[in-house]
Structure 1
Amino acid sequence: MIMQAPSILIVEDEAIVAEEIRRMCLKSGYEVAACVGAATEAVEISRESRPDLVLMDIALAGGGDGIETAMSIREDCGSPFILMTAHSDEKTLTRVKASGSYGYLLKPVRSIELEVCMETALARAEMEKRLLESERRFSRLAENSPAIIYQYHVKPPGKFDYLSPAVIMLTGYTAEEHYSDPGLALRLVHPDDRALLLDTFEGRRALVSPLRIRFIRRDGSVIHTEHYLYPVHNRRAEYLGMEGIALDVTARTTAEEEIRRLSVEIMRSQESERQRVARDLHDGIGQTILAAKLNFSSYRKNPRKFRDRFERGMQFIDKASEELREVYTNLYPSILRDLGLEVAVRWYAKNLLETHGVNVSLELGLTPKLPHDLEVNIFRIVQEVFTNILRHSGADHAKIELKSLPAGDAIVLHIEDNGSGFDPDSPPGTTSGSGIANIRYRAEAMKGILKVQSGGEGTEISVTIPVDGA
């Protein structure tokens, strides 16, 4: 790829000098956009050709001011400029320094000085251009980022040098409000986190990233933020302040807290189930087997005298077998695995509710067969609801609907009873609250929606479960 030579606009009112400078520029490999002698011409040509560099004589014919003209071109077209003059008085030099000139040449201009001055000016202009583009990119990123990007200067006094616009979304206050009130950000910090943030920003505490800080928004709500911090030092390694990024992690924090709460509920439910199984084994099967053993022991000592004890012992063994079957059916009913969810629900309603005096109305219609994990979770919900009906409601009638929606993309489980009802908002630690928490956990695990209605009379529980989301 052939690189185009930089273009130079020469503004010099002495034709011989202008021609000599043009010749030197061409010899150094530059293109000359034009040679003009008046300020008005220079402005017009620069707008048309957009030169890479302007060589400007300070004193132009007709009283034109080269410095003002060069500055005007710079502002209008962005072209850097080098000033040329035959005068080196203090007043001229002061104006040159204040103009933003990229170079200064005394006439007569020598070829080597011109070449070095132009190379330096063009290199500087290129670096400034890249820096400006980089700053613009950073500015766009910072202004569009949902995170707060900030620079905090410790002394004197502590204040923000920069705050990205996202600060208003997170705190409810604009960056300008924070600039005008340096203490605002600290006052917004939750009282329990204020000392931690202040000590970290002022360098009294070891830097830890991410730093979790809570803020109180303008509307009074609390948000959780996570800060990634980078300390700033001067050349003498003295601490100056902090640069950082703050992310709103309120939703994630809420989810983490919910996961922890559900984990505790799961462990509590598991422990409760273990205790129930242990109690059933000890109080039921254990005692029945002990009774069988005592009868068999008597028979072994004297078969003639205690002939009936053998038959009685066998009866106790049969009873223990039935009780054991009840225990492992509750743990995992083989009927669910062998015959499917509909048959398992019918069997469970008959053998649990109806045997305890609850009249049951069933409407079942599942098509097609569901995935195994989905069937197990729905059956566990049915078990939980049936158990709650028996233990707490005192109901004598229950209606169970378990159907596929017409589109076949979701399952609806609806169970209602005519019992005493309960408070659906009961905390998880209570009996009814723990049961609903277990049902809600299983429904959410299947990406389902749980609805509970209960009060003085009766309870309705509905779960809608997407088949693809299971």
Structure 2
Amino acid sequence: MMTNTKIIIVEDEAIVAKDLRNRLQKFGYVVSAIASSGQEAINKSREICPDLVLMDIRLKGHIDGIEAAHEIHKYLDIPIIYLTAYADDKTLDRAKVTEPFGYLLKPFKERELQINIEIALTKHKLEKQLKTNQKWLSMLLNSISDGVISSDFEELITFMNPVAENLTGWKQEDAWGRISSEVFNIAHAETHEPVESPLKKVLQAGTIVSLPPETILIAKNGVETPIDDSAAPIKDEQDRITGAVLIFRDITERKQAIEAHQKQVEQEQIVAQLAEINQLKNEFLNLFSHELRSPLSNMKVIIQMLQMSITPEASQHYLEMLENECDREMALINDLLDLQRLEAQACPLITPDVLLLEQFIPWVIEPFQVRVQEHQQTLQLNLPSNLPSLFSDGISLERILAELLNNACKYTPAGGEIILSVDHNSAETPPKTIITIRNSLEIPTAELPRIFDKFYRLPNADLWNQGGTGLGLSIVQKLVEQLQGIIQVESREGWTTFRLIFNDLVVTTS
């Protein structure tokens, strides 16, 4: 029993009111006041704020008990129990509107009165606690920075906080009872394809779900907002799903921060790349200027020698030297122009055609036969029978083979060998043609990574009196790339091997 409970009795019969007071005091309750009219009941209730009111329905005056209870509820949250002799339907219907905590018909037993009072007080305490919790929860949901939407088991919206109202463009009173996908309208950011409502997925799967990346919320007025979210089921004490709750947030600032960071990273990468390009440009210009100045310096010396020349034989010798240096300068300029066009792909260099390798390869190496004999070298050609044709650009392939054979002739010592082999691998898809050029010279392993660099020459190349622009292998590498092929180089056991790999019947364009 709740002690010190304050009760007001509203009864216009003095004897009945006194009897009620005695009974309540017997139970241990405190009777704070007795009112005989509806207005008096309203006034005393507002003055005393009791824990409970026992209200007779039929009272003297123009305000009966039901009207008095209605007025009391406007100002106070206290339980009211009706004590009346009237049980007709009309009276009951009027009484139910005021949500009474009990309805006892006179005459009633003491125990019945006590039980009704205790139940009313307990029920009111629980309801008050529930209202407090609901108010606290509502304040919490309304104050958080994320949007919150809840639905019942049929996916009909039951709650929206102010953030959700602002992002969706729907007021809670307008969204109440609507299907969630109508209010929470989401789509893919790029394709604008509709995305299934997470509340629907939760109610179907019974588990927590999240939105896919790049999801946007389309508000009632058409405004699009990037969001992420998670939704979870709402379950009762028996673990049955009764609804779902969705929490989502505007990630515009986060996306902007990520994009800004990405732009900063990209700018830093561009700056680093520009610095690297600038360094490479400076290195190239240094090499280029050296290569250009060298023949010009030689020409100047030769011209001075010509001016001092006495005999026709000496003049002829110096003129031949001058012609060679001019050829060297022209070759350097031509190679630089070819390399620039290959790197920039400024003009079409590829004209695909069917090459009969059995005829094409011997034709390419024919000019080198005399040269290898002069250097006391041997040039061996290995061609298999029934060699398939290669669909490629003849001019480019001729330039590639000529550059590689020229290097092999230059750097192979007297008595050395040069071997050109062609193989066909039909087991791969697509089939491949492999052209290999080997010469009896071993390049140090540390030098191989630089073999295709511009102006690169082998160590001690000048001791062998080998000329050239130093651009041949760079041009070869670019031409092979344009033919959609692969070039490999290895050097071991006294041999250097260049391997060219081309796909058969592949139309190559610039």
Larger Rg: 2
Q: Which has the higher contact order (CA 8 A, sep 6+)?
A: 2
TM-score (norm 1): 0.50
